[in-house]
Amino acid sequence: MPMLLPSWMDPDELIKFFGPYALWGVAFIVFAECGLFAILPGDSLLFTVGLLTAAGVIPYNLVFVCTVLTVAAVLGNVSGYAIGRKIGPPLFKPRSGLAGKIFKQSYVDRTHLFFERYGNRALILARFVPIVRTFVTLVAGVGKMDFRHFITYTAIGGVLWACGITIAGYFLGNIDFIKNNIDLVLILIVLASLVPMGIEYVLHRRRRNQESAAV
């Protein structure tokens, strides 16, 4: 099956690049995606790390691997929050070149809407949504969200995301169909992650309609 991801985002190629330091390389990528606003294949890397841990290619036990990746995700979010709190707004002024492509105002607008709809839970749900995951902590920092609330929800999200997808790769990655169609599986993971938000959206609409009818 041809790769659906571009070659430079192929998790196998990225892990091969890091060689014996694959876990630490992936941890840095997770940190960068969560805190340094890099659009990177975090979901696919986590799943692949789980698969390679089960196969013994990554020479650490699953608990240690999940701990390292969760810490990287949470520290990345804390960094993104700090950056947003200090210098967030100026980053998104209109500009050209690479910076203009990375720091698009549309990304922040999309994330603001996400926050408005889901509140603090956005920090948990956004973990499973590419791009939104990358910018949600920046928006939390720009909005000066209470740090205690922020770290609580971002830690919960970090555990569910980093551990959940890595464990899925560990136990499911050696199934032939999944191994041979990993890109498709990763897309299905992203789609499945949207289900809670879809349910929340339906419930929100229903509550709003009930409130309107009661007026």
pLDDT digits (tens, 9 = 90+) for 157-189: 889 889 988 998 898 877 777 767 766 776 776
SS (H, E, C) the chain: CCCCCCHHHCHHHHHHHHHHHHHHHHHHHHHHHHHCCCCCCHHHHHHHHHHHHHCCCCCCCHHHHHHHHHHHHHHHHHHHHHHHHHHHHHHCCCCCHHHHHHCCHHHHHHHHHHHHHHHHHHHHHHHHCCCHHHHHHHHHHHCCCCHHHHHHHHHHHHHHHHHHHHHHHHHHCCCHHHHHCHHHHHHHHHHHHCHHHHHHHHHHHHHHHHHHHHC
Q: Rounded to two decimals, what is the model's pTM?
A: 0.71
35, 168, 192, 136 alpha-carbon torsion, rounded to 10°:
-10
Specify the higher pLDDT residue, 109 or 72. 72
In 1-143, DSSP assigns E strands to none
pLDDT digits (tens, 9 = 90+) for 4-51: 444 545 666 667 777 788 899 889 988 988 877 666 667 778 888 898
| Residue whose C-alpha is closest to residue 154's, from 120, 129, 114, 131 | 120
Tokens of 130: 């590419």
pLDDT at 115 exceeding the cut of 70: no
